[in-house]
Structure 1
């Protein structure tokens, strides 16, 4: 019998060189105090945005989502497309009137500052926007020619809200959507992402830089002087995917499995882009741990409540701490994950005992896809030890 919940957790250790990937309003790298020590921090919003961008590279343009205040502009553009490109071929004025009428049931009002933008961001799929146009069928020119009140009355008969409430793209199904003015459009996120924290204490440093005026041959002074703040860190990153919620959002078993695998791939490979041209900070994780649970998800950041000091290297010691915390949670709470999969370069018996042997990352993704597929097919997932015993 299919379990009611399936959580796939991703724990990542990743070292960043001098960088400023996520800064506050004063330009300082974001920080947090944890365990009495100041840590480097990358906000969950920053890493979700990076993950969403990375995810979008893996899917066709038509299957992507967008979060924008310009939904009216995008809808107008589609309505103005000629018939040979799949549009009704309306004039610009007709397209604007019809787009405004279609969006009125959503309660989307114009921004007080910019007429071409809505008052708030809306997250939706590009296919959903095309579906709105298809609602009109061949009647778009006739509707666009109606008086204003008649046009609004006719458009109200169309299932506009229902169209945007179904057929969600994977990005919306993963990260959710909240529309305060119209709760019907809300989508519960199937992914939760923690703020990334350094496993150790950090200190912010300053880079003093100058720019030379190439055409200045009269003196040796700088054409510009400035400073940028930075730090370097080994980060613990954590995200959890509720496969059950993702399945409910997508209503398709095959797409759910594929989306779960793509999310883990995108989350592991993603990187916020703050000051990327100045620091070229993009790295890959040196440890990716995936744990599968059917009870509650468990963030293992408590492994670093006491800051790592780096006696044997920050990355190596952080991996050992994570292995110890995973085992301690299981021993103390009796809450061991059903499955543990890991890709890592660290060495040590403790790490191998906790995580199992390291597998190449593509193989890890394949294993996750298999486990998720089995659960979606209604198979009961058991622990690795139980599964091994059954095969003997």
Structure 2
């Protein structure tokens, strides 16, 4: 049987409210009979990810969180003169490769249905590959094939 040690540490932070809940109130925890501010690991990780030191050390390898990857491809098609509805159809396979595609019956924006329902994490190299494919599709005026879309997705290429 494996033995685990669980540590609960009190760490002093400067006077700042680093972490709030969905209502805007500070997150708290009662510890040792006293109410203390709580800082979640999610909050700490975000602070690390957005720090200058992190960006300098991992420049060019930091991933992007977006639900609009296929929308960017569709925008390239629209900018090259292809109709917005056609552009959304052309990039449908790209969007499906990264996640479940939005299917808004009455979108406010024509390119909304080129977005994914949830955020996806992609590397800068994957993002450049999507844009390169979109430029090729714009030149050839055709939709992306499933095979082309599958080539875009690479596992664990980005940090973060």
The TM-score with structure 1 as length reference comes to 0.31
Select the residue among 157, 166, 187 that pairs with 2:147: 157
Select the residue among 101, 112, 115 that pairs with 1:109: 101
Structure 1 residue 21: Cα displacement: 1.8
Mark the runs of 5 or more structure 2 residues left unpaired by the alignment: 1-8
Q: Distance in 1 between matches of 2:77 and 2:124?
A: 14
Asked if structure 1 preserves the Cα contact closer than 8 Å seen for 2:99 and 2:116, the reply is: no
Asked if structure 1 preserves the Cα contact closer than 8 Å seen for 2:76 and 2:134, the reply is: no
After superposition, the Cα gap between the structure-2 partners of 1:59 and 1:32, relative to the gap in structure 1 and judged at 3 Å, is same
Asked if structure 1 preserves the Cα contact closer than 8 Å seen for 2:67 and 2:117, the reply is: yes
- Aligned partner of 1:76 in structure 2 is 74
Indicate the RMSD between aligned Cα atoms, in angstroms: 3.5
After superposition, the Cα gap between the structure-2 partners of 1:15 and 1:167, relative to the gap in structure 1 and judged at 3 Å, is closer
After superposition, the Cα gap between the structure-2 partners of 1:120 and 1:137, relative to the gap in structure 1 and judged at 3 Å, is closer
Question: Structure 2 matches for 1:114-129, cutoff 5 A?
Answer: 116=112, 117-129=115-127
Select the residue among 97, 100, 106 that pairs with 2:92: 100
Structure 1 residue 41: Cα displacement: 0.7
The TM-score with structure 2 as length reference comes to 0.65
Secondary structure of the 1:120 match is: coil
Mark the runs of 5 or more structure 1 residues left unpaired by the alignment: 1-10, 82-88, 146-150, 172-392
Task: Confirm or deny that 1:67 pairs with 2:59.
Answer: no
Structure of greater Rg: 1
Select the residue among 21, 25, 28 that pairs with 2:22: 25
Which protein is richer in strand relative to its size?
A: 1
- Aligned partner of 2:3 in structure 1 is none
Q: Distance in 2 between matches of 1:136 and 1:25?
A: 38
Asked if structure 2 preserves the Cα contact closer than 8 Å seen for 1:80 and 1:92, the reply is: yes
Asked if structure 2 preserves the Cα contact closer than 8 Å seen for 1:63 and 1:126, the reply is: yes
Asked if structure 1 preserves the Cα contact closer than 8 Å seen for 2:76 and 2:131, the reply is: yes
Q: Distance in 1 between matches of 2:108 and 2:89?
A: 17
After superposition, the Cα gap between the structure-2 partners of 1:52 and 1:78, relative to the gap in structure 1 and judged at 3 Å, is farther
